[in-house]
């Protein structure tokens, strides 16, 4: 490009005009690629959540639950695509697990709230990032257990049992998952194939 500009200057023609049509097409292609990439990431996260919920369904439901899939709630730290991915994954996982309608709705909303909170805290310590899903599920799930399933236990007690499960699932497993994924985040959660080109151009 510089050689081309130099030739134009020597010829007294000044700087060559920028091809705005080509630039617009490139930007459009980049945006489309990013949308597809985000959808793919969200779909994969949702699928993994469903599989983990199904495989470990024996202790993924009930007043005492450790949902291994909740470790994935750390993923919004790396990509915003994890927010819809976790919500849809939890929704489908609850349906596949035979959950009643209030659990399907409010359980998925708790996961969504937690995912958004984790995304907002993504620049903080990973342990802090696990707090939103822990808090959201600890508050919401006990009420679902009481009023949707008729579990005759004190709500504070169920908050304790659900909270412990969330600390293990989101806190312990989530932080472990974060420590593993952060080494490969540039590869796994790459947002655009144009990033490398842009960096090289600089």
- What's the pLDDT tens digit per position in 12-44? 555 555 555 555 555 666 778 888 989 999 999
- What's the pLDDT tens digit per position in 109-163? 999 999 999 999 999 999 999 999 999 999 999 999 999 999 999 999 999 999 9
Let me know if residue 28 belongs to a domain.
yes
Q: What pTM, to 2 d.p., does this model score?
A: 0.79
Let me know if residue 49 belongs to a domain.
yes
Let me know if residue 61 belongs to a domain.
yes
Let me know if residue 2 belongs to a domain.
no
Host domain of residue 182: 19-201
Which runs of consecutive H residues, i.e. helices, occur in the chain? Answer: 2-10, 20-55, 82-96, 101-120, 126-129, 131-147, 155-166, 173-181, 185-188, 195-201
Question: How many domains does the chain divide into?
Answer: 1
Residue 66's CATH number: 1.10.1760.20
């Amino acid at each position: 490009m510089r050689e081309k500009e130099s030739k134009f200057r020597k010829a007294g023609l000044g700087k060559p005009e920028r091809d705005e049509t080509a630039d617009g097409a490139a930007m459009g292609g980049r945006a489309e690629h990013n949308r597809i990439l985000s959808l793919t990431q969200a779909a994969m996260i949702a699928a993994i959540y469903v599989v983990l919920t199904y495989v470990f369904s024996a202790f993924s439901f009930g007043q005492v639950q450790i949902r291994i899939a909740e470790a994935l709630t750390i993923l919004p730290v790396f990509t915003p695509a994890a927010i819809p991915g976790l919500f849809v994954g939890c929704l489908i996982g609850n349906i596949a697990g035979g959950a009643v309608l209030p659990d399907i709705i409010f359980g998925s909303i708790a996961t969504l709230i937690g995912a958004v909170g984790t995304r907002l805290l993504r620049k903080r310590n990973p342990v802090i990032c696990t707090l939103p899903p822990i808090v959201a599920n600890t508050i919401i799930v006990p009420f679902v257990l009481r009023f949707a399933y008729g579990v005759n236990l004190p709500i504070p007690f169920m908050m304790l049992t659900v909270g412990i499960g969330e600390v293990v699932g989101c806190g312990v497993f989530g932080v472990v998952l974060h420590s593993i994924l952060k080494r490969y985040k540039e590869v796994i959660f790459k947002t655009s194939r144009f990033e490398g080109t842009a960096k090289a151009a600089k």
